Amino acid sequence: MENVNLSLPQKTLQAFGSKKVPTFAFQIRVEMPTILQLEGPSHIPVRLHAIPDWKKTTEIIRNIPQKLRLTSLNMHITAMTEVIGQGYTSVRSYHITHNTSLTVDEAMEAPGGEIFIPCGDGEAPLDIGELINLRIGYDGRIGIGQPYLNKNCLSPSFTTFNIKHIHRLRWKLRYSVGDQKGVMEGGEVVDILTPVAPEGDWIQPPPEDDLPPPFSA
């Protein structure tokens, strides 16, 4: 029930794993892209959706709609650079890592009010990226001032013969149902692409008639 918390006897029973405490079973699906565009015009989709598991839910609250409040969402990009140097007698490897926060928590405070994760098979997912216009650039999240640009910078992913620069998007989500709280976290490797050049922003080659003659010995 909305705005109804567990009583002290129920909490005591819960601590001992009693089946008398109602149980609401569900899964939260978190959808995030694996390819990110620097300075892109479109937001990064971050979709949240809760799917109830009514078979594992206590009968007394089965099929009763529940509200899942999103209390916190932290996201950051970890950049990892590996350099392999070929020496005369051995191969040496160097690792450099730095984190860039996307300040999602701070941005979610701007719309005001509580944010709820849609719960149900027929509910459309909540797109946090669209809600806060989440986009990234070389200086981190677009629209948020970065006080230390040299510590919070992003560059495209790439791999060469002896250098590998990759990124991992990490997140931690906190939610509550009534007075019961939960947390889940995850992460995956993402490719960060260079910005797309504006249309027409390229060098026009000269007409073929103006080209010099082929080189001849």
Give Dmax over CA atoms of the chain in angstroms.
Answer: 97
Inside any domain, residue 200: no
Rounded to 5°, the CA angle 203-205-211 comes to 145
How many whole angstroms separate alpha carbon 150 and alpha carbon 98? 10
Residue 217 to residues 210, 211, 214, Cα–Cα distance (Å): 21, 18, 10
Q: How many structural domains comprise the chain?
A: 1
- Per-residue pLDDT at 4: 44
Inside any domain, residue 121: yes
Inside any domain, residue 217: no
Q: What's the domain range around 54? A: 8-13+22-195
How many whole angstroms separate alpha carbon 54 and alpha carbon 162? 52
In the chain, the amino acid numbered 141 is R
In the chain, % helix, strand, coil (3-state, to 5) comes to 10, 40, 50
How many whole angstroms separate alpha carbon 129 and alpha carbon 73? 11
The tens digit of pLDDT for each residue in 167-215 reads 999 999 999 987 789 999 999 999 999 988 666 555 555 565 655 554 3
Inside any domain, residue 185: yes
In this prediction, residue 32 has a pLDDT band, given cuts at 50, 70 and 90, of very high
The tens digit of pLDDT for each residue in 119-158 reads 988 889 999 999 999 999 998 888 775 544 445 589 999 9
Collapse the DSSP code of 10 into the 3-class scheme (helix H, G, I; strand E, B; otherwise coil) and give the result: helix
Tell me the sheet residues that pair with 126.
48
HSE, side-chain direction, 13 A CA sphere, residue 31: 10
How many whole angstroms separate alpha carbon 77 and alpha carbon 191? 11
Identify whether the C-beta of residue 51 lies closer than 8 Å to the C-beta of residue 26: yes
Tokens 């479109």 belong to 42
Collapse the DSSP code of 44 into the 3-class scheme (helix H, G, I; strand E, B; otherwise coil) and give the result: coil
Inside any domain, residue 205: no
Phi, psi of 203 (to 5 degrees): -85, 125
Query: What predicted TM-score, i.e. pTM, was given to this entire model?
Result: 0.73
In the chain, the amino acid numbered 155 is S
- Per-residue pLDDT at 172: 95
Rounded to 5°, the CA angle 97-137-153 comes to 30
Sign of CA pseudo-dihedral 30, 31, 35, 40 = negative
Identify whether the C-beta of residue 50 lies closer than 8 Å to the C-beta of residue 26: yes
